[in-house]
Amino acid sequence: MKLFEPLQIGSRVLKNRIMFPPVNFCFENDDECLAPETIQYLADIARGGAAYLVLGEIYPVEVKKKSPKITSDHHIDVFKTLCNSIHEHGALIGAQIYYPDDFDIRMMPREMLMRIRADYLLAVDRLVLAGFDSIQLSGERFLGSMSSSLINTRNDEYGGSLENRMRFALELIEEIKKRHHEIILEYKLAVTDDPSWKGLTLNEAKQAAKLLEAAGLDLIHAAFTNPSHGETVPAMGIKPYGCFTKIAAEIKKEVSIPVSAVGRIIEAQTAEAVLETGQADLIALGRALIADPLWPEKVLENKPIRYCVSCNKCLDKIADEKKLRCGLHAGSGADRFIKKESPQNIIVTGGGPSGMEAARIAALRGHHVTLYEKTYRLGGQILLASVPPRKRELLRFVNFLSDELIRLNVNIQLGKEIDEDIIIAQKPDHVIIAVGAMSVSLPVEGAALPHVFDSWDVLAGRKQVFGRTAVIGGGLVGIEIAEYLCTEGNRVFIVEMEDAVGIGQSPSIWPAMMENYKKHGVQFFASHTLKRIVKDGIMCAAKNGEVRIPCDSVVMAVNGRSRMFPVDNIRKAGIQVDMIGDCKQIGDIEAAVHSAADLFVR
């Protein structure tokens, strides 16, 4: 595969063409230069086989931000630890330098520009001493503002034409190369479709690429930027796979230096196609390597890969400056918490995400595992969650877990519902209860009428609604089934007792849902509490009194409740019992996966 062929960049050679692009994990405290968790996360990705990793958002000046900082000579040794840990696995490590952009570019005196350049250069000197192989200058933030025709309206040599607006970056590149000719020098060329944002149009970027190469640049990271982080790092179904490779392809036509591509590249076949068709020289896998740091190794060994589903759990946390955590992967790296143990006989009840993940980890630790699932399909509520628009990608996680359980010889018993007596008779060492949750119907008058449906039955295809449909509940379940029903041709409205609909939904997904709602005429009735259901409508309590809303169908989409499973007799028999997932506490897929992993790290 071309993906695993070496690539020369400047004077250095990458062992393959897999790159981890700059990501800020938000592990650092405001006053911390580099957190141990960041070092471990990147080391695990390097161990998994990626050839080139970039540590994102390193600030050369003091800022109150959960991000790496290189503002003192005392920080050099800390960064050396990172570089050494990456080099141990035969990978190269880059440092992306960010600079705050809370300046008035137009009014900034030239002396201040020179001071900022000195800050950059001092940071580069320190990073080189720490052992970094590459420096990436980000064409966002400060450099993005400098290059923007709308933001940079200076009338000196640093404003006006594109060449003038790029002058600061070009002079910086020339000076860095003069000081450190052996370093790989990279530029994140941020292309935007929003003229008000800190980036370049594609046509400007193509011209800028030639200027950057002439200044001495070694590598261009062709990326997209937008005020909305959901546009920059699209969630499932928002944009097609490989959505930004066309940017790399256009840039590559203009230069002879290598160009990397990024944007919803999840599977090896997609990456290979981008390389073979000459659209890029290097493939940047961000969320894909967060979901499975062993992605490169598994591609070579043809093992099941925990493919990213673009749920954007990681992105949403970073946007809120919270510590990164993958929705599908509980380890802070490549399942590094999994160690072989003395084998036990373990029974897992429930084949949803928490039960499957628990069975997977237990089998990896060397235990003999039997998984019981009362239905004839593994996946639990993921099977329902994958039905609404754009959600089909969730099935990749079910496929991964299923393949892993088979590969690890887990004894899977489908269509088998067990109880305490069956478990006790088998004399296991450990029982993991993962029976999930059950849907809830509000106990209101009329709830038993024939035109009232359960949301889980509707998503499973067991029941069909018709006509004007009232979805009761504007939480995550309600908004998703409402979108599903409206795209199926139903006239839908959402009834929610809180003051707003969609509380808790990812900000990278919500705009796409709102667009669909608008297209299909979905109405919101916030601050409406269902009181009773009648044959041709529902009665709600609203701020201005009781309101009657006509409808043909009613779908209950309120939060589920934990399913009970008696365990007292199991414990009395001296068998260890643990409950995980929704049967312990109602949550999402992330909570289910992490509750399973938590069993094995305590």
Q: For the segment 131-147, what is each residue's pLDDT rounded down to a tens digit?
A: 999 999 999 889 999 99
The CA-atom distances, in angstroms, between 327 and each of 330, 377, 389, 469 are: 8, 22, 19, 32
In the block, residue with structure tokens 């237990």: 362
Phi/psi region, residue 60 (left: phi>0; alpha: psi -120 to 50; beta: rest), is alpha
Q: Which two tokens stand for residue 233?
A: 């790092």
337 pLDDT above the threshold of 60: no
**Identity of residue 401:** L
The pLDDT assigned to 11 comes to 92
Residue 377 has a CB neighbour count (10 Å cut-off) of: 12
Q: What is the dihedral of CA 185, 67, 63, 186, to 10 degrees?
A: 10
Q: For 347, what's the count of Cα atoms within 13 Å in the CB-facing half-sphere?
A: 24
Least confident of 255-264, 504-513, 580-589: 504-513
Residue 333 is predicted with a pLDDT of: 46
Average pLDDT over residues 172-192: 96
For residue 188, list its beta bridge partners: 138, 221
Confirm if 481 and 458 have CB atoms less than 8 A apart: yes
pLDDT tier for residue 335 given thresholds of 50, 70 and 90? low
Identify the CATH assignment for 2-319 out of 3.40.50.460, 3.20.20.70, 3.40.190.10, 3.40.309.10. 3.20.20.70
Residue 315 pLDDT: 86
Sequential DSSP letters for 51-101:
SEEEEEEEBSS--SSSS-B--SGGGHHHHHHHHHHHHTTT-EEEEEE----
Query: Which tens digit of pLDDT belongs to each residue from 405-430?
Result: 999 999 999 999 999 999 999 999 99
CA dihedral 593, 596, 600, 602 (to 10 degrees): 90
CA trace torsion 349, 351, 353, 357 (10° rounding): 70
Residues 6+ apart with CB under 8 A from 373: 350, 351, 355, 412, 413, 414, 415, 416
Report how far residue 340's alpha carbon sits from residue 344's, in angstroms, rounded to the nearest whole number.
11
Q: Is the pLDDT of residue 431 over 60?
A: yes
Rounded to whole angstroms, what are the CA distances from 200 to 222, 225, 382?
Answer: 11, 9, 40
Task: Determine whether 309 is exposed, middle or buried from the number of CB atoms within 10 Å of its CB (0-12, 13-18, 19+).
Answer: buried
Please give the Cα distance from 55 to 86 (Å, whole number).
11
Q: How far apart are CA 396 and CA 304, in angstroms?
A: 10
pLDDT band, residue 18 (cuts 50/70/90): very high
- Cα(86)–Cα(445) distance, integer angstroms: 63
Report, at the CATH architecture level, how domain 452-556 is classified. Answer: 3-Layer(bba) Sandwich (3.50)
Q: Residue 602's pLDDT band (boundaries 50, 70, 90)?
A: low
Mean pLDDT for all residues in the chain = 94
Q: Is the pLDDT of residue 395 over 90?
A: yes
- Please list the residues that pair with 539 across neighbouring strands: 532, 548
Q: 380 is written with which tokens?
A: 């639990």
Q: In sequence order, what are the beta bridge partners of 579?
A: 433
Q: Which of 41, 595, 49, 21 is nearest to 355 (CA)?
A: 595
Q: Can you give 374-394 as a three-state secondary structure string?
A: CCCCCCCHHHHHCCCCCCHHH
What is the pTM (predicted TM-score) of this model? 0.93
Going from N- to C-terminal start, the domains of the chain cover 2-319, 345-439+562-598, 452-556
Cα–Cα separations (whole angstroms), residue 565 to 5, 412, 419, 598: 53, 20, 8, 20
Q: What is the pLDDT of residue 263?
A: 94
Average pLDDT over residues 354-374: 96
At residue 506 the predicted structure's pLDDT band, cuts being 50, 70 and 90, is: confident
Q: Which residues are catalytic?
A: 141
pLDDT above 70: percentage of residues in the chain = 98
Looking at this protein, which amino acid is placed at residue 180? H
First vs last C-alpha separation in the chain: 41
Tell me the sheet residues that pair with 192.
225
Residue of 48, 132, 148, 71 whose CA lies nearest to 96: 132
What is the DSSP annotation of 427-475? --SEEEE---EE------BTTTSTTEEEHHHHHTTS----SEEEEE--S
Q: State the DSSP code for 200.
A: B
CA distance 194 to 355: 44
Contacts of 48 (CB under 8 A, 6+ apart): 289, 292, 293, 294, 295, 296, 297, 334
What average pLDDT does this structure show over 66-88?
A: 97
> Please, are residues 63 and 103 in contact by the beta-carbon 8 Å criterion?
no
Residue pair 100/59 in contact by the 8 Å Cβ criterion: yes
- Residue 159 in contact with residue 152, Cβ under 8 Å? yes
| Nearest partner of 92 among 234, 222, 218, judged by Cα | 218
Sheet of strand 529-534: strand arrangement: 529-534, 537-542, 545-550
What is the pLDDT confidence band of residue 334, given thresholds at 50, 70 and 90?
A: very low
pLDDT higher than threshold 80 for residue 186: yes
Alpha-carbon distance of 550 to 569, in angstroms, equals: 50
Question: What angle (nearest 5°) sits at the alpha carbon of residue 139, between those of residues 123 and 43?
Answer: 60
Above 80 in pLDDT, residue 331? Answer: no
pLDDT recorded at residue 155? 94
CATH of 345-439+562-598, one of 3.30.70.270, 3.40.50.720, 3.30.70.20, 3.40.50.150: 3.40.50.720
Whether the Cβ atoms of residue 354 and residue 596 lie closer than 8 Å to each other: yes
pLDDT given for residue 339 in this prediction: 77
Structure tokens at 565: 């499973």
Question: Residue 400 pLDDT more than 50?
Answer: yes
Run of H or E residues at 397: helix 395-407
**Residue 515: pLDDT over 80:** yes
Can you tell me the mean pLDDT for 534-563? 94
How many of the other CB atoms lie within 10 Å of CB of 545?
7
